[in-house]
Amino acid sequence: MNKEDVLRQIAEEILNCKKCPLWQHRNKAVPGEGNANAEIMFIGEAPGYHEDIQGRPFVGAAGKLLTQLITSLGLKREDVYITNVVKCRPPNNRDPRPDEIAACSPYLDKQMKVISPRIIVTLGRHSTLYLFSKAGIDISGISQVRGRLFNLTLNDFNVIVIPTYHPAAALYNPRLRDALERDFKFIKKVLTGEYWEEKKKTVTLEEFF
Ligand code: URA
Ligand code: SF4
């Protein structure tokens, strides 16, 4: 089976899933979408109102901002892979509960493994805490890690993780929006390799002095 087929099979399982109580509230489960060979993967929290209606991730107001930010990387939505930690919408957009995350996250784990992106961008607290806990690292919140690069070992593979704020949080908060845009400039440098070029220069200067 090729990667697309494996992703389709995972999506099929999600659409029929009843492993946690959230299935009772959903219109459509939202498995995720994008390029099976994506170099970069974005992980949000859970579907919202519009995502639940359409069965697609990040199609509401936060999605519009995410799409703009992806464009700022010189990429299209079809170039990347976009999904969430939890695949069904929690009622009234409440936070997903630990038992729901525990029930649903094996799907995300499989998606990450199949796609094996070079970079994972976690959007907001939930996906950030989830990936760090998978790597065996306890963090208290997102502000201590956002906008920085981490090499995490998730079970059996290594990946660069760059946490940033959730686009929904940035919609009505100019300070968070600035930070989110700055983080995407940083992500672009990592994508293009400029980040390592700059790092090399810094090392050379340190060695010089
Ligand atoms: N917020 C999320 O975390 N995910 C979506 O898909 C939409 C909004
Ligand atoms: Fe299954 Fe995840 Fe939906 Fe719960 S949220 S029913 S675990 S797909």
Q: Which pLDDT tens digits describe the chain residue by residue (209 residues)?
A: 899 999 999 999 999 999 999 999 999 999 999 999 999 999 999 999 999 999 999 999 999 999 999 999 999 999 999 999 999 999 999 999 999 999 999 999 999 999 999 999 999 999 999 999 999 999 999 999 999 999 999 988 899 999 999 999 999 999 999 999 999 999 999 999 999 998 888 766 666 65
For residues 171 and 62, the answer to whether their CB atoms sit within 8 Å is yes
Report how far ligand 1's centroid is from the alpha carbon of 59 (Å).
Answer: 8
Of the listed ligands, the closest to the CA of 52 is 1
Report how far ligand 2's centroid is from the alpha carbon of 52 (Å).
Answer: 12
Architecture of domain 3-208: 3-Layer(aba) Sandwich (3.40)
Residue 204: Cβ within 10 Å count: 9
Provide the CB-side half-sphere exposure for 61 (13 A, CA).
6
